[in-house]
Amino acid sequence: MSTVLVTGAGGYIGTALVPALLEAGYAVRALDRFFFGRDLLPEHPRLEVVQEDTRRLTPAHFAGIEAVIDLAALSNDPSGELFQEQTWQINWQARAGAARLAKQSGARRYILPSSCSIYGFQDPDTLADETSPTNPLTTYAKANEKAEQDVLPLADEAFTVVVLRQATVYGYAPRMRFDLAINGMTYGAYATGKLPLMRDGSQWRPMVHVHDAAAAQIFMLQAPSDAVNGQLFNVGSAANVYQIGPLGELVARIVPREVEVEWYGDPDHRSYRVAFEKIEALGWKAERVAEDGVAEICERLADGSLEKGQTSITLDWYRELMRWHRIIKEVEMYGGILEI
Ligand SMILES: NC(=O)c1ccc[n+]([C@@H]2O[C@H](COP(=O)([O-])OP(=O)(O)OC[C@H]3O[C@@H](n4cnc5c(N)ncnc54)[C@H](O)[C@@H]3O)[C@@H](O)[C@H]2O)c1
């Protein structure tokens, strides 16, 4: 049985991926700062939980590890702009460092879950594939590209490196994110009857369900090295490439109430249509479409198993943690507040 180190295991994708890995028979070392809570992963005899910052990894974190799935990151554009220095450190340097340590420690495989946002803006008449020029527009996208450039050259016969450029993810996971397009539209429409749409609606965006994203990562753990080593793969499907305006209409049709569109933001300059033939040629295919994600989120909101908690808007939660950190540092004495 091989052990997989998952960094960022307490995040949105991680809390879907870890149970899927356990189900597939792997042992998992789940490493995270756990900014979004420590109780979102299942108790399991094959699960080891490690609280650590990826900027402080040591060879001991990789002892006995066969493969690494390196999810830990500040995970969106607004967080990347507010915390630029930390985004370079965590999303680029710490991931390059993790890949080097993995290789030195004898791990056999390293998977970098990067992002299709690296394509930034592309001519709407063309489909970006893995050979297309990149056009990263934000600190988040640029840091992903730097990480890709540093980890790919580590590939050799003994060490398989795979980069997955994931489409924007949607659907339910225990660490829920309502700051992702489909999830946010669904919540707004369901809870208030107002569906938030980012101007001007013509922008193209590929999407992928969180269980399909996790499945693609597991697929890459198992794919023959000579078919994937040192390569990039877009993760998504043609059926999940949407223009934001029509996507909003699709969401509105599924949410079980009257819905009106509420436009927000300046016109979004990120627009990219992406091709997924390369990963499909290997035999992996996304199984879900947006309708599935919208329906499952509505069902969970209706039965009370999902609420919009404070942690579900990533940037707001990081800001809140920083605010409380300042307050606590000011009032803490002798290691406590009232109890000392
Ligand atoms: N969600 C998407 O739509 C999407 C799309 C493409 C790529 N990605 C990439 O997939 C990865 C996971 O995304 P997500 O949606 O699960 O994000 P997330 O914010 O839910 O999860 C990130 C996790 O990393 C942890 N973390 C952050 N900094 C850390 C540090 N320095 N040390 C240890 N842990 C740290 C956080 O506590 C969190 O649990 C990210 O690299 C993201 O860029 C996500």
Give tens-digit pLDDT for 3-41.
Answer: 999 999 999 999 999 999 999 999 999 999 999 999 999
pLDDT at 126 over 90: no
**Looking at ligand 1, which atom is closest to the CA of residue 79?**
19
Say if residue 238 is exposed, middle or buried (CB neighbours under 10 Å; 0-12, 13-18, 19+). Answer: middle
Strands 109-115 and 160-166: parallel
Write down the residue that tokens 């969106």 correspond to: 76
Q: Please give the residue range of the domain that contains residue 234.
A: 3-316
pLDDT at 123: 83
**Residue 300 forms part of a structural domain:** yes
Question: Mean per-residue pLDDT for 156-160?
Answer: 98
Cα(332) to centroid(ligand 1), Å: 30
Whether the CB-CB separation of 282 and 224 falls below 8 Å is answered with no
Cα(8) to centroid(ligand 1), Å: 6
CATH number at residue 28: 3.40.50.720
**Residue 336 forms part of a structural domain:** no
Quote the number of domains for the chain. 1
**Residue 252 forms part of a structural domain:** yes
**Residue 14 forms part of a structural domain:** yes
Q: Alpha carbon of 285 to those of 25, 163, 290: distances in Å?
A: 21, 17, 15
Cα(112) to centroid(ligand 1), Å: 11
**Residue 322 forms part of a structural domain:** no
pLDDT digits (tens, 9 = 90+) for 209-254: 999 999 999 999 999 999 999 999 999 999 999 999 999 999 999 9
**Residue 164 forms part of a structural domain:** yes
Mutation test residue for ligand 1: of 6, 7, 13, the one with most atoms within 8 Å of CB: 13
Within 6 A (CB) of ligand 1 lie 8, 10-14, 32-36, 53-55, 71-73, 75, 90, 113, 115, 166, 168-169, 175, 177, 180, 314
Mutation test residue for ligand 1: of 5, 6, 12, the one with most atoms within 8 Å of CB: 12
Cα(70) to centroid(ligand 1), Å: 9
**Residue 338 forms part of a structural domain:** no
Q: Of 49-58, 123-132, 229-238, 274-283, which range is least confident?
A: 123-132
pTM exceeds 0.85, yes or no:
yes
**Residue 232 forms part of a structural domain:** yes
Q: Which helix (H) or strand (E) holds 170?
A: strand 168-170
Q: Which amino acid is at 247?
A: L
